[in-house]
Amino acid sequence: MTIPDDDSTKRKRWTHLRRVLERAGPFKDPNFEPSTELLSGIESVRILIIGAGGLGCELLKDMALMGFCRIDIIDMDTIDLANLNRQFLFTKTDIGKSKAEIAAKFIMNRIPNCNVTPHMNKIQDFDASFYSQFRIIVCGLDSIVARRWINSMLVSMLQYDENNQVVPTSIIPLIDGGTEGFKGNARVIMHGYTSCIECTLDLFPPQVNFPQCTIANNPRLPEHCVEWVTSILWPKEKPFGPGVNIDGDSVEHIQWIVEHATKRANEHNITGINFRFTQGVVKRIIPAVASTNAVIASICATEVFKLATSSVLLMNNYTMFNDIEGIYMLTYPPEKREDCPICSNVPVRVQINETAKFQELVDQLIEKYQLIAPLICTQIDGQSKTLYMTSTQQMLELTKPHLRMTLQELGLTNGIEMLVGDPARASSMRVIISLTSSMETTTAK
């Protein structure tokens, strides 16, 4: 069924939101001014949802039903049979199709005024000009790499004033949700003010890795036997031909692994290997719980609503949720790390004459920042370039000639950002080149 688009439905539909937006109250943001215009504000604000999986489906549904009408959603994945129990915007006939596209279609069909633009892409396919279109970004991801990527992208888009303070208007708030079985977390990240993904990287559970020697020689768990087959026997026997990697969704592949893992388990008096278990180990499946996704998505959606309307103070700023035994929740602000290599890494600007040789730039950096043996690299037109490296003999020989070249010859134009690592510093610096024309310097002298 679709929501009817007549006036009385419309009025009734927003009754509850209007109570929040059109009345003052003791729990409101002190700066909040109730207004009848805020409701239409929700319609116009552009939101980006990253991920159209378990959390993404919930998020999209929550936002759309709340009245957000300009939503973009990114997901590179296609729909799989195993998704259908919790990714409720998809049905059996959608298997193999793009998650983002089907989710968008479903929502637009169901909620007429809502405009959802799907992107079947990796987040890395887009650059700053894409992300800067959005007021708020919400993530429902299952990958640390993707979180770190969008985190550093948003940091790189910040602007700083002359006191190196983040210009508030350059912040795009990031709401990040994550779930694993019965556990989940939701957080609000305002770069420059709160901790970021990189500040709290240690909070992520470590990858389970068994010692290779245990796998090779002393298996004690059924997992060890499966890992032995996938990491040692498979590359040796190449059961499905050379160059064929294990496909966790291929019944034949898993069956082959089950057969050989069972053999090895029997030799070591280990039990517990079957198809389901083996597939779980091969694909590193952590069972997803639909209710956890619903809880976390609703927390995230509430924060998006608060950000879009400024009606209520934001969650400060990290909520963890666990309902394995009873329900446990805690909200606290993890500290922003003063030495965070991403969000505390404010780029510094060096001024240098446009006709200068690279040597002068290196000398200036060494003197100004007390460097010992800087390693300098950059990206020019998307190509990585190592400009200077002295810590190995080969690189010293290859990059020393750069010193005699001019900045122009090296392609170092105004505004180019370089990375500078040095043994004397705890983390790499970001350095932006600011070229001065030779005229200016002469007159200054």
Partner 1 sequence: MLNIFSIKQSRSGDGASSDGGTKKTSAALLRVTKDLSELGTLPPTCQVTYPNKDDLLHFTLTITPDDGFYKGGRFIFSFTIESEYPHTPPKVKCTQKIYHPNIDLEGNVCLNILREDWKPVLTILSVILGMGFLFSEPNPDDPLNKEAAEVLKTNVNTFRSNVTKTMAGGTLSGVQFDRVLSR
- Burial (CB count within 10 angstroms: exposed 0-12, middle 13-18, buried 19+), residue 103: buried
* Interaction between residue 193 and partner 1 (CB under 8 A): yes
User: Shortest CA distance to 229 belongs to which of 279, 287, 276, 271?
Assistant: 279
Tokens 């990958």 sit at which residue?
A: 143
Member of 40, 245, 427, 437 binding partner 1 (CB under 8 A): 427
- Size of interface with partner 1, in residues (CB under 8 A): 83
Phi and psi dihedrals of 169, rounded to 5? -70, -15
Q: Could you give the CA distance from residue 226 to residue 214 in angstroms, rounded to a whole number?
A: 12
Q: Could you give the CA distance from residue 175 to residue 139 in angstroms, rounded to a whole number?
A: 6
User: Shortest CA distance to 323 belongs to which of 294, 349, 354?
Assistant: 294
One character per residue 355-394, x = contact with partner 1 (rule: CB under 8 A): ------------------xxx-x-x---xxxx--xxxxxx
Query: CB of 203 within 8 A of CB of 320?
Result: no
- Other C-beta atoms closer than 10 Å to the C-beta of 247 total 13
Closer by beta carbon to partner 1, 79 or else 282: 282
Among the listed residues 213, 300, 343, 377, the single catalytic one is 213
Q: Which listed range, 66-74, 83-91, 262-270, 308-316, lies at the site for partner 1 (CB under 8 A)?
A: 308-316
Closer by beta carbon to partner 1, 157 or else 290: 157
One character per residue 90-119, x = contact with partner 1 (rule: CB under 8 A): ------------------------------
Closer by beta carbon to partner 1, 5 or else 161: 161
Closer by beta carbon to partner 1, 133 or else 438: 133
Of residues 151 through 170, those in contact with partner 1 by CB under 8 A are 151-153, 156-157, 159, 168-170
- For residue 88, the minimal CB distance to partner 1 (Å) is 31
* Interaction between residue 148 and partner 1 (CB under 8 A): yes
Q: Could you give the CA distance from residue 329 to residue 296 in angstroms, rounded to a whole number?
A: 11
Six token digits for residue 192: 């420059």
Member of 35, 40, 85, 133 binding partner 1 (CB under 8 A): 133
Q: Could you give the CA distance from residue 287 to residue 181 in angstroms, rounded to a whole number?
A: 6
* Interaction between residue 420 and partner 1 (CB under 8 A): yes
Q: Could you give the CA distance from residue 317 to residue 333 in angstroms, rounded to a whole number?
A: 5
- Terminal alpha carbon distance of the chain: 76
Closer by beta carbon to partner 1, 231 or else 331: 231
Member of 37, 162, 202, 339 binding partner 1 (CB under 8 A): 202
Is 213 a catalytic site residue?
yes
- For residue 220, the minimal CB distance to partner 1 (Å) is 14
Report, as residue numbers or ranges, the catalytic residues.
213
